[in-house]
Amino acid sequence: MHFIYGKNGECVLRIKFKDGIDPIFDYVSEMHIQGMIESVVDLFELQNVSASNTLKEYDLKRLIEIKFSNIHEKCREVGNLFYLGQDIIAEKVTLTPEQIKTNTIYLGKTRPYEIGDTNWAWRIMKNVYMSNKYLVLKKDELYNSPYFICQIKWNKIRYHQSIIKLLRTNKSNLSPFGKSYARLIKNRLLEEQEKTKILVEKQKIENELYQLLIRDYIHPFFIRRARLGLIPVKKIFVTNIFLDLAQSTNLRITLGDERFRKDKNIFLNLIKKNINIVDGEWGWLNKVMGDGCYIVFGANNYFEQEQNFDHIKNALTFSRNLLSDIEGIKKENKHKLPEDIILSDFHVRIGIESGEVEIGEAYEREIEALDQQIELGTLRIFDTDGYSVHVAKRIEEVSKIIIKQDDTKNKKGGIFVGEEVIKHLKNNKNFNFKLINLSKKGIEVRDIKSIKKIWELV
């Protein structure tokens, strides 16, 4: 480990493994080194510390194959691009040296790669997760670098406080010039404290925004808008999807809690995967409720001048693909040992309806009750509301009765849609629907508007 340079508020360390030692086989050492650095930071009580490790000495291909074997997709290098399965996850770039005093060193600056460049690295283009859970490759990290670089930054206020403490201790021994310097330092400290106060306020806002960030597949456009203040409520046209796992209580009893949780996690990952495939980051997994989900397609209409209706067919494509994936897994189960079988009796009911919703932030800061003011903090809730949401949920609920009445052997799931979906897709040759007259089946839907019929995607 080598100290490259440092000043109050920042320092840079270079970490290089000995010749003949493959860093991949000593993968945990990087974590130990980072732990030591954080211990030193804590010892000096530094505030607002951030540490970045952009340059990595690991060989990217060997790292994935040896340490991240749970990533089942194969990796390969094609020209200047690095593939994981069918996804491009990295591009080849040339490292640009920087001059630090008398040292020439790579700190993370890059330029486009040109044939013949020897000082190149793989720049990660997107976050890569292992088992859909653990972040193992972070966007903008540089692999196949000549060494590791650790950059540490912290708030300078502790330094000034230490000087003032020292000056106060020896105040009687200070010369007039020294006392003037002490006043200068004190004023500088006040300036630093004011900067810190602003920083704390900024971090408070960032923490509020975090409530939006933790949801899966909320588009960055909404996050950027949220930084300007509350996202105003706007009426847009979307497609609402409610899906529920059939007979989940019986499944939990049959499989046991641990096995059921494992299968349910696989099920949720299939949902996320298919949302992303069909609608990218615009597909919005709004809520996970017990064994069901509420999904919104078409949130991009918030930013459109004219409403787009492609989300309707996207919602049906997503639903069909999801059920197809589940059935595909069930077929694969025939060739597996009993303990390796997954989703063996998973059946999904899906209710879909399109329509106008209000989308934006609900915000409550304070309530006046009698003569008292009740502070509720700064909870930010980004959500949808509207009659079409209610109808989609009702369709999913009533589908349970329809499936129960169906004579089809072993049928427990299906895709059911409302009238607005049919209006837009009745002439689409990619989708076939079967009309279900609820009145003839003796099914009553309690609703402010009477729902007389729904359709099943067949």
Q: Under CATH, what is the fold of the domain 221-457?
A: Alpha-Beta Plaits (3.30.70)
From CA 18, how far away is CA 26, in angstroms rounded?
Answer: 11
Is residue 217 within 8 Å of 275, Cβ to Cβ? yes
pLDDT at 224: 74
Q: What is the DSSP letter of 118?
A: S
Cβ-based burial of 196 (10 A; exposed 0-12, middle 13-18, buried ≥19): middle
pLDDT at 153: 82
pLDDT at 46: 63
From CA 439, how far away is CA 418, in angstroms rounded?
Answer: 15
pLDDT at 249: 86
pLDDT at 456: 95
Taking alpha carbons only, the member of 2, 25, 23 closest to residue 14 is 2
pLDDT at 319: 97
State the DSSP H helix or E strand holding residue 17, giving kind and residue range, or none if neither: none
pLDDT at 425: 95
Collapse the DSSP code of 19 into the 3-class scheme (helix H, G, I; strand E, B; otherwise coil) and give the result.
coil
pLDDT at 110: 94
Where do the domains of the chain lie? Answer: 2-155, 157-213, 221-457
Taking alpha carbons only, the member of 276, 251, 277, 273 closest to residue 264 is 251
Q: Which two tokens stand for residue 80?
A: 């200047």
pLDDT string in tens for the chain (458-residue length) = 787 777 777 788 888 888 777 888 766 666 656 666 665 555 455 667 777 788 999 999 988 888 887 777 789 999 999 999 888 999 999 999 998 877 789 999 999 999 889 999 999 999 888 766 667 888 999 999 999 888 888 776 555 555 555 455 444 444 454 455 556 656 666 777 777 777 777 666 555 555 544 444 467 778 777 767 778 889 999 999 999 999 888 888 888 888 888 888 899 989 989 998 998 878 888 888 878 899 999 999 999 989 999 999 999 999 999 999 999 998 888 888 877 888 888 999 999 999 999 998 765 443 344 344 444 445 567 789 999 999 999 999 999 999 888 866 567 899 999 999 999 998 999 999 999 999 888 888 777 677 889 999 99
